[in-house]
Structure 1
Amino acid sequence: MRDALYSPYIIPVIAIVSGMVYIAISAWKKVQEDKIALEREIRLKELELKAQASREATSAGETKTH
């Protein structure tokens, strides 16, 4: 174990592993941000459709009363 710690390769190995961990975390964060953005878009579309349906129902109700 002690030999591994004093190996000339320990610094590059630590650097490579740290870089891989950083890349993995960055990719995971990006996926989560994209997922949240997609959910937000879906909610906005649903709200737009509800508002449109409400307007259509209101205008249909107005034409029936006239």
Structure 2
Amino acid sequence: MAEKSKSVLLPVVAAAVFAGLGRMVLQKVMGDRKARESNVAGPLDEKTRAGISELVRTPRE
């Protein structure tokens, strides 16, 4: 009997997906660690920035 030829495509695609997911997880972990160390909540839009600036400038009684 002739041997079945096995496709190499499925293992290659599975390895690529696994590597991509692993890379995404590493980036997430490294980003979280960097954010925790810098104590930055995230990027602020202009409206939030203006509100914070207004709160800081107003004198307290």
When normalised by structure 1's length, the TM-score is 0.53
Q: Decide which structure has greater helix share.
A: 1
**Which runs of 5 or more structure 2 residues have no equivalent in the other structure?**
41-61
2:4 is the counterpart of 1:15: yes
Q: Give the Cα separation in 2 of the matches to 1:28 and 1:47.
A: 29
Number of residue pairs aligned between Structure 1 and Structure 2:
40
Q: Give the Cα separation in 2 of the matches to 1:40 and 1:33.
A: 11
Bigger Rg, structure 1 or 2 = 1
When normalised by structure 2's length, the TM-score is 0.57
**Cα deviation 1:41-62 (Å, max 9, x = unaligned):** 000010001000019xxxxxxx
- Residue number among 11, 22, 27 corresponding to 2:12 in the alignment: 27
**Which runs of 5 or more structure 1 residues have no equivalent in the other structure?**
1-10, 56-66
Q: CA RMSD in A?
A: 1.9
Identity percentage of aligned residues: 0
2:32 is the counterpart of 1:47: yes
Following TM superposition, the consecutive aligned residue runs of length 4 or more in structure 1 with deviations greater than 2 angstroms are none
